[in-house]
Amino acid sequence: MIDEILIDLHMESDVLDALVAPLDDWSIPTPAPGWTIAHQISHLNWTDRIAALAARDPGAFAEALKGATPDMVDEGAREPVTLEQWRAGREEVADALRAVPEGAKVPWFGPPMSPASMATARLMETWAHGQDVADALGVTREPTDRLRHVAHIAVRAFGWSFLVNGLPVPHTPVRVELLGPDGDLWTWGPPDAEDRITGPALDFCLLATQRRHRDDLAVTAAGTNATAWLPIAQAFAGPPGPGREKGAP
């Protein structure tokens, strides 16, 4: 399973690589406040490097974690990085995750993760930050079945979305039904659940990565818990972000 996810991660990284490689100037602003294209790539590179460290040397990661600060994400995004360094870092984290012993977990800033979950998280972040870059360049990316990984981690983060917003986690299950880019129906949760989320997979992923405002997307909710989830859904760790303004790219 890890190999399949890593192949998809490689392909998703290549899509973003194709956007930034021809650019002479990475200082173009993106929709993320204060972040240029350079910040987006530097952030991905920094996270890849930390993830590779966690996979290869949990003890060293634990030591690095002791020095973590609330500003570490922004500090990592300000570290200069070249295209070649980012490419090398992508290979490094893939090799590190592939080498994790079977059954072992990778420590992280939140709960430990399986190598497959960590690879899925890296794909989600690559896709999400790639959306920022695509928006900055006025480019529309073709949605692919790799969105299933993004949607999956968003569904898995259902409880986290409530916790990080200081809300009690609902115990009633939610059914999620998304239409994939090729017309396939992707589902999570019991078929008979009263609470339901439906819509295009792309729209749900844009919502859960907070790259579009809910009102600009064709995602619908039925039921108390599903309705409460949509405004706070997030596929990423860390505090809830400000999201996007209505009508903004």
What is the pLDDT, as a whole number, of residue 240? 87
What pLDDT does 243 receive? 86
Tell me the angle at which helices 115-137 and 2-20 cross, rounded to the nearest 10 degrees: 20
| 76: Cα separation from own chain's centroid | 17
Helices (H), 27-167: 37-56, 58-66, 72-77, 83-98, 115-137, 147-156, 158-163
- Fold for the domain defined by 147-232: Nonspecific Lipid-transfer Protein; Chain A (3.30.1050)
pLDDT of residue 73: 83
Residue labelled with tokens 């650019």:
23
Find residue 221's DSSP bridge partners: 197
Tens digit of each residue's pLDDT, the chain (249 residues): 799 999 999 999 999 999 999 999 999 999 999 999 999 999 999 999 999 999 999 999 999 988 888 788 888 899 999 999 999 999 999 999 999 999 999 999 888 999 999 999 999 999 999 999 999 999 999 999 999 999 999 999 999 999 999 999 999 999 999 999 999 999 999 999 999 999 999 999 999 999 999 999 999 999 999 999 999 999 998 888 888 999 988
Helix (H) or strand (E) holding 186: strand 185-188
Rounded CA separation 42/121 (Å): 17
Kindly tell me the burial class for residue 213, based on how many C-beta atoms sit within 10 Å of its own C-beta (0-12, 13-18, 19 or more).
Answer: middle
Q: What is the CATH number of domain 2-137?
A: 1.20.120.450
Parse the chain into domains and list their residue ranges: 2-137, 147-232
Instruction: Give the separation between CA 215 and CA 202, rounded to whole angstroms.
Output: 14
For every residue of 10-52, which 3-state class applies, written as one string? HHHHHHHHHHHCCCCCCCCECCCCCCEHHHHHHHHHHHHHHHH
